[in-house]
Structure 1
Amino acid sequence: MGQHNSSQEKEGERELMRRHKINKSELESLRKLFRERCGGKYKALTKTKFREVYNELFPGKSTQYADEMFRLFDMDGNGKVDFVEFVRNICMCDSDDIEEKIEIAFALYDKDNSKTITQTEVRNMLEAYTNMLGVPLEGGKTGAQIAKEFFAEMDADGDKSVTFDEFQYAARRNSAILSIVNPKPPNWVD
């Protein structure tokens, strides 16, 4: 059984490299980061460890945002983020592919997985995002104020819910809607 899991992991890694156009060296760098974050002895990130990562990177209160990202990363819903889930989501969040960013951002806003987004979901996500950053946003707006503006822009038909098509159209016109997918820590060096 251990050998079966190992071959599944290797195949999963090959698929990651193909799909996200990363090479063996990049994959190994991500593996090193993953192992460091897991504390060495674990094969997966727990929600607690995931929160610790965000708390280290961001100056504000990051628990709520970290929990939402954990929900997104934990694709099989088992309460842990394994290496393949970690790499897949890191690559998608950092992707230059606008379609991937739109899909992941929609999933992040759509907390209840209803396939529509409510104004409350947008407000909660943007408040979590701004709380994590721990600094005033440009123009001094709160997460709730930005959420109201974003939602008005996204809800094209005015029915108080945003479908994927409405979201996609708005995100193509206003890339700031996608900013929640890949926040940059204040001391981040690209």
Structure 2
Amino acid sequence: MGQAAVRTCGRSKSYVTELYEWFRKFVIECPSGLIALHEFQRHFCDGTVGSESAEYAEQIFRTLDSNGDGVVDFREYVMAISMLIEGSAVEKLRWSFKLYDKDRDGAITKEEMLEIMQAVYKMNVAAGLTKPNPLTAEECTSRIFVRLDKDNNAIISLEEFIEGALDDNWIREMLECDPSTVKVGRPLKRDTALENPRLI
């Protein structure tokens, strides 16, 4: 308890300011203090990423909804973002594991990982974020599985996931969730952007 208090008091002013900004946006977008799946998908899928991100948004929502009640409250929301920004490498990877473990059975199949990878790739293409000559989602998934599935049983356990990612920077970069993908914010209106090119 004492260590937690020290960590809280030691947080920077910029972190507190950012936390307030998350709260402000959350209240504006979700005045009830709760966000349902369809609302999260609406915010997540609006703008440049297109409808391809709906499935990925749903899986992020399920991961955010830590108590499984079908809605995300501000506490669940801010705890996840705070952990993704300030948490340890192991904490971030534990959260990412839940994201890939779609059926929540404690293991990741190749099919589960491929579905998430494909959704991320589609989002990156739609947003123009792909690097030159990237690996395909299938190639990326296969490479990760070869390196992480140490016992060759066609599934990745939590232990394999964490240990493998900690030992390989490329895998860790591929598997960790970007905190910006879970932030709720009002998208820029297209007509406003066209009227003021400096905003684009």
TM-score scaled by length of structure 1: 0.77
Separation (CA, whole Å) in 1 of partners of 2:37 and 2:54: 10
Q: What is the aligned partner in structure 2 of residue 182 from structure 1? A: 178
Q: How large is the RMSD of aligned CA atoms in angstroms?
A: 2.7
Separation (CA, whole Å) in 2 of partners of 1:19 and 1:117: 37
Q: 1:52 to 1:67 in 2, by over 3 A?
A: same
After TM superposition, the runs of 4+ consecutive aligned structure 1 residues lying more than 6 A away are: none
How far is the alpha carbon of 1:144 from its aligned partner? 2.0
Separation (CA, whole Å) in 2 of partners of 1:25 and 1:157: 46
Matched, 1:30 2:27: no
Matched, 1:51 2:41: yes
* Contact 1:116–1:161 (8 Å) recurs in 2: yes
2:40 aligned counterpart, secondary structure = helix
* Contact 1:122–1:151 (8 Å) recurs in 2: no
Q: 1:102 to 1:58 in 2, by over 3 A?
A: farther
**Residue range with higher mean Cα deviation, 83-92 or 47-56:** 47-56
Q: 2:32 aligns with which of 42, 54, 58?
A: 42
TM-score scaled by length of structure 2: 0.73
Equivalent residue letter for 2:65: D
Matched, 1:99 2:93: no
Which runs of 5 or more residues in structure 1 are unaligned? Answer: 1-13, 186-190
* Contact 1:101–1:178 (8 Å) recurs in 2: no
Q: What is the aligned partner in structure 2 of residue 64 from structure 1? A: 55
Instruction: Name which structure has the greater RCO, CA cutoff 8 Å, separation 6+.
Output: 2
Deviations 1:57-100 (A, max 9, x none): 65242101100000001111111110101101111223352011
* Contact 2:64–2:76 (8 Å) recurs in 1: yes
1:117 aligned counterpart, secondary structure = strand
How far is the alpha carbon of 1:110 from its aligned partner? 0.9
Q: 2:162 aligns with which of 144, 168, 173?
A: 168
Q: What is the aligned partner in structure 2 of residue 83 from structure 1? A: 74
Which runs of 5 or more residues in structure 2 are unaligned? Answer: 182-200
How much identity, in percent, do the aligned residues show? Answer: 26
* Contact 2:85–2:179 (8 Å) recurs in 1: no
